[in-house]
Amino acid sequence: MGYASTNVEAYSNGNDTYTSKENSYLYGIYMGIKWQCVEYSRRWLFIRKGCVFKSIEGAADMWTQVDYAQRVVDKKCFSFKKYANGSSSPPINESNILQVLGIIFSSDNNNRSFN
């Protein structure tokens, strides 16, 4: 489908009623179910920042259950800043933007400590 941030490939799972039931791994690290939005979000975070977040059931759980990302190499944790759609703070470059049931959420994981 295309690329985000110049190097994170986006794939299509076909349509909103199809789930592949295939697991996705990158360098032996679990990313999620191919090609669901949680998998893409975790893969983007891993490729761009070297971090992952805990396993969750679905995208809506990112807003309520994921408060931090953990860098794979040293297990250091980084807090997410979450902004609901309509917030006075617009997304910044390298933000992880997620839309769930027509509601758009943005989590600013552009913490300089990631780099």
Number of domains comprising the chain: 1
The CA R_g of the chain, rounded to the nearest whole Å, is: 14
Strands 29-33 and 68-71, bridge-based pairing: unpaired
Strands 81-84 and 103-108, bridge-based pairing: antiparallel
What pLDDT does 111 receive?
43
What pLDDT does 91 receive?
77
At a CB cut-off of 8 Å and minimum separation 6, what does 63 contact? 82, 98, 100, 105
Question: What residue spans of the chain are helical by DSSP H?
Answer: 37-49, 60-65
How much is the pTM? 0.77
Range of the domain at 90: 2-114
Q: What is the mean pLDDT of each run of 10 residues along the chain (115 residues)?
A: 80 76 94 90 92 89 89 94 79 70 52 41
Q: What is the CATH number of the domain that holds 55?
A: 3.90.1720.10
